[in-house]
C-alpha cells in the first residue's frame, strides 16, 4: 500500500514530470483538518481557507513575530500628522498569470470585496475609510474619516488579502466566482491543483517579488480530518507540518518534531472559545437563562480536559493578550456555581430546558463537557457537530441554532477581531460576524468612539465599559483562551507559525 509521499510521487509524475525531476524537488506536506472548499481569503475569516490561501496571496503589510507591521506588497508607507492619510508605495509585483500588480488591485479589493464580505474588515474599516486614491500604479492613498490606531496592523494577508481586479471585476458575485477554485495571487506559492477532500498542491513562485525566499519547490496540503490519522502520518514522516494539535499529543511527537507555539496564525490570533446565544430564539433571549448557563459551566474543567492546561480560562470578553484593553475582573460574577445556576433557573420559572449547540466536529469535546455540567441544573444540551461549511451556513445564513461554539479570534487590537462580534451593523450572513445578532446602541457608540481616537487611555476606558455591559447582558459566553500548537519537520527552519504566510521563508537546514 502506498503511503502519502509515494502517492504524491505518482500523482506528480502524472502531471508530466520525469522521475528524476520529481525526486530532485523538495515537496513539503502539510496536514490540514478541513477542506478549504474555495481559495478566496477575501470573503471569509475562516482558518480552513486562510491555512492554504494565505500562501498564495499577500497583504499590503505583513506582521513580524511581535505582530508589528512590516512590508509586504507595500514597500513602504507614510502617515500624515493628523493620522487621516496613509500613503503606500507598492512593490513591483506580478500576479501568477503574469499580469502586473497595481494600485488598482488594492482599491478594487477593498471597495468591492473586503468591505462587503470579510467580517472583520467590513466591521472595522468600511465606515472609517472615506476614500481610496490611486495617483499612479505604484501608489495607493487611504483617506480616513477619523484616526484609526489599528489601521496598519489590519492590512496583512489574513485581514486584508489583495485580489486581482482583472480576475474578479467581471466575475459576478465574488463569493460564488469560479476563480475561487483556481486562485491567481501574488504570493510565494502558485496554485497547481485541488482534489476536494484529498489535497491541494502549490508550487514555488519563481518570479516572486521578494526573490528566492524558500527552498520548497512544492507544498501539498493533505486534508486529514481525523486527528489520530494526522498524528500517525507525522510520526511516520509522511507529513512535515501539523498546524494545529492538541497539547495532550505533544509527548507523542516532540522527540521527532519541532514544537512551535503562537497566539496567532491563519484565520486570526488571540482566540477565545465562545458560546453564542441566538437572540432570535425565545429561550436564549432570556437573560436569566444565559446567566444560569454561564454559572453552570465549569470552564476550568474545559481548560484541563480539552486544552490540558495549555490555555487560560477567559476572565473577560476581550483576550488577555490585548492587555491595555482587557478588564481582568469583567467576568468575576460568573464563576462556576451549579447551585447558583439552579436558583436562577428556578426564579425564572425555567425547567427541563432543551437547547442545541452547533459547532465544528473538532469542538465536540467542549460540547460534551458542557452538556454534562448543564445536565446537573436541568438543561439538556444537544450537540450538533456539522462540517465547517454546513456549520457556517446554519449559523450565519439560516440562523438555525439555539447556541453555537466558535473560536472567535480577537486579533491584536479590539478594532480588528472583537468589534465585528458585537456591532449591530455586522448582523449579516457573513461568516464569523455577529453570530448572536446582538444589538445595543450603546455598544455601537462605544466601539465607534474607541475606534476614532488614538488616545489609548480613552480607548481603554471605552472598552472597559463595553466589557462591563457585555458581562451583564451576556449575548455570548467566553470560555477559554487558546494557543496554537504546531509540530514541524526539524530538518527545516524559517517557520512563521504566527502568520498566514507560515511557509513563506522555510529553508532546509
Helix runs in 349-496, H state only: 364-375, 388-392, 414-417, 419-422, 441-451, 456-473
Those residues whose C-beta lies under 8 Å from the C-beta of residue 461, and which sit 6 or more positions away, are none
Q: What is the pLDDT of residue 46?
A: 85
Q: What is the pLDDT of residue 296?
A: 98
| Nearest C-alpha neighbor of 428 from the set 48, 159, 126 | 126
String of b and e for 476-489 (b: at least 16 CB within 10 Å)? bbbbbbbbbbbbbb
| Nearest C-alpha neighbor of 153 from the set 503, 436, 498 | 498
Task: State the DSSP H helix or E strand holding residue 338, giving kind and residue range, or none if neither.
Answer: helix 338-348
Residue 391, CB-side half-sphere exposure with 13 Å CA sphere: 25
Sites in the chain below the pLDDT cut of 50: 1-2, 9-10, 13, 17-22
CA 281, chain centre distance (Å): 27
Those residues whose C-beta lies under 8 Å from the C-beta of residue 195, and which sit 6 or more positions away, are none
| Nearest C-alpha neighbor of 179 from the set 345, 365, 331, 42 | 42
Q: What is the pLDDT of residue 21?
A: 45
Ranges of beta strands (E only) in 210-292 are 218-223, 241-242, 258-262, 264-265, 268-269, 271-277
Q: What is the pLDDT of residue 8?
A: 53
DSSP state of 323: G
CA 469 – CA 461 distance, rounded (Å): 13
Those residues whose C-beta lies under 8 Å from the C-beta of residue 160, and which sit 6 or more positions away, are 59, 60, 109, 110, 114, 118, 121, 154
CA 199 – CA 220 distance, rounded (Å): 7
Residue that is written with C-alpha cell 453564542 in the block? 276
DSSP state of 39: -
Q: What is the pLDDT of residue 1?
A: 38
What Cα–Cα distance (Å) separates residue 319 from each residue in 70, 325, 338, 452?
24, 9, 26, 21
CA 256, chain centre distance (Å): 28
Those residues whose C-beta lies under 8 Å from the C-beta of residue 223, and which sit 6 or more positions away, are 32, 33, 34, 35, 197, 198, 199, 200
| Nearest C-alpha neighbor of 123 from the set 435, 373, 337 | 435
What Cα–Cα distance (Å) separates residue 97 from each residue in 164, 205, 299?
10, 11, 50
The residues facing 357 across adjacent strands are 383, 403
Q: Are 287 and 438 in contact (CB under 8 A)?
A: no
Q: Are 218 and 201 in contact (CB under 8 A)?
A: yes
The mean predicted confidence, pLDDT, of the chain is 92
3-class DSSP assignment, residue 258: strand
3-class DSSP assignment, residue 28: strand
Which DSSP string corresponds to 166-230?
HHHTTSS-TTT-GGGGS---SSSEEEEEEETTTEEEEEE-TT-TT-S--S-SEEEEEE---HHHH
Q: What is the pLDDT of residue 47?
A: 85
Q: What is the pLDDT of residue 138?
A: 98
Amino acid at each position: 500500500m502506498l503511503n502519502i509521499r509515494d502517492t504524491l510521487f505518482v500523482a506528480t509524475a502524472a502531471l508530466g514530470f520525469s522521475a528524476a525531476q520529481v525526486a530532485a524537488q523538495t515537496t513539503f506536506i502539510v496536514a490540514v483538518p478541513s477542506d478549504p472548499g474555495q481559495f478566496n481569503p477575501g470573503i471569509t475569516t475562516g482558518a480552513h481557507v486562510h491555512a492554504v490561501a494565505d500562501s498564495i496571496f499577500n497583504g499590503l503589510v505583513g506582521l513580524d513575530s511581535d505582530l508589528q507591521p512590516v512590508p509586504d506588497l507595500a514597500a513602504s508607507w507614510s502617515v500624515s500628522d493628523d493620522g487621516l492619510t496613509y500613503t503606500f508605495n507598492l512593490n513591483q509585483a506580478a500576479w501568477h498569470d503574469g499580469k502586473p500588480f497595481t494600485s488598482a488591485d488594492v482599491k478594487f479589493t477593498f471597495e468591492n470585496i473586503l468591505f462587503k464580505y470579510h467580517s472583520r474588515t467590513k466591521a472595522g474599516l468600511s465606515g472609517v475609510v472615506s476614500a481610496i486614491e490611486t495617483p499612479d500604479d505604484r501608489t495607493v492613498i487611504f483617506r480616513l474619516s477619523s484616526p484609526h490606531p489599528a489601521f496598519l496592523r489590519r492590512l496583512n494577508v489574513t485581514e486584508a488579502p489583495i485580489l486581482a481586479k482583472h480576475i474578479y471585476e467581471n466575475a459576478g458575485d465574488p463569493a460564488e466566482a469560479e476563480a475561487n477554485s483556481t486562485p491567481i495571487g501574488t504570493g510565494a506559492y502558485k496554485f497547481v491543483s485541488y482534489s476536494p477532500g484529498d489535497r491541494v498542491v502549490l508550487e514555488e513562485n519563481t518570479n516572486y517579488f521578494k526573490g528566492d525566499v524558500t527552498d520548497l519547490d512544492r507544498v501539498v496540503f493533505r486534508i486529514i480530518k481525523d486527528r489520530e490519522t494526522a498524528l500517525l502520518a507525522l510520526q511516520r514522516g509522511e507529513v512535515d507540518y501539523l498546524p494545529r494539535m492538541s497539547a495532550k499529543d505533544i509527548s507523542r511527537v516532540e522527540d521527532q518534531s519541532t514544537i512551535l507555539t503562537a497566539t496567532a496564525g491563519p484565520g486570526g490570533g488571540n482566540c477565545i472559545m465562545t458560546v453564542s446565544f441566538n437572540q432570535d430564539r425565545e429561550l436564549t433571549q432570556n437573560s436569566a437563562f444565559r446567566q444560569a448557563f454561564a454559572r453552570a459551566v465549569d470552564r476550568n474543567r474545559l481548560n484541563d480536559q480539552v486544552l490540558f492546561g495549555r490555555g487560560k480560562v477567559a476572565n473577560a470578553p476581550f483576550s488577555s493578550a490585548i492587555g491595555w484593553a482587557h478588564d481582568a475582573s469583567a467576568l468575576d460574577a460568573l464563576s462556576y456555581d451549579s447551585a447558583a445556576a439552579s436558583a436562577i433557573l428556578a426564579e425564572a420559572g425555567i425547567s427541563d430546558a432543551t437547547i442545541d449547540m452547533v459547532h465544528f466536529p473538532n469542538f465536540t469535546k467542549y460540547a460534551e463537557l458542557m452538556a454534562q455540567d448543564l445536565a446537573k441544573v436541568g438543561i439538556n444540551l444537544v450537540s450538533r457537530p456539522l462540517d465547517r461549511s454546513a456549520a457556517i451556513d446554519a449559523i450565519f445564513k439560516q440562523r438555525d441554532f439555539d447556541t453555537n461554539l466558535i473560536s472567535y479570534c480577537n486579533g491584536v487590537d479590539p478594532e480588528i477581531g472583537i468589534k465585528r462580534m458585537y456591532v449591530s451593523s455586522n448582523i449579516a450572513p457573513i461568516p464569523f460576524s455577529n453570530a448572536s445578532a446582538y444589538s445595543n446602541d450603546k455598544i455601537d457608540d462605544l466601539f465607534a468612539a474607541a475606534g476614532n481616537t488614538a488616545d489609548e487611555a480613552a480607548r481603554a476606558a471605552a472598552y472597559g465599559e463595553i466589557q462591563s455591559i457585555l458581562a451583564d447582558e451576556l449575548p455570548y459566553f467566553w470560555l477559554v483562551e487558546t494557543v496554537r500548537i504546531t509540530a514541524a519537520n526539524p530538518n527545516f527552519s524559517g517557520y512563521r507559525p504566527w502568520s498566514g504566510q507560515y511557509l513563506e521563508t522555510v529553508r532546509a537546514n
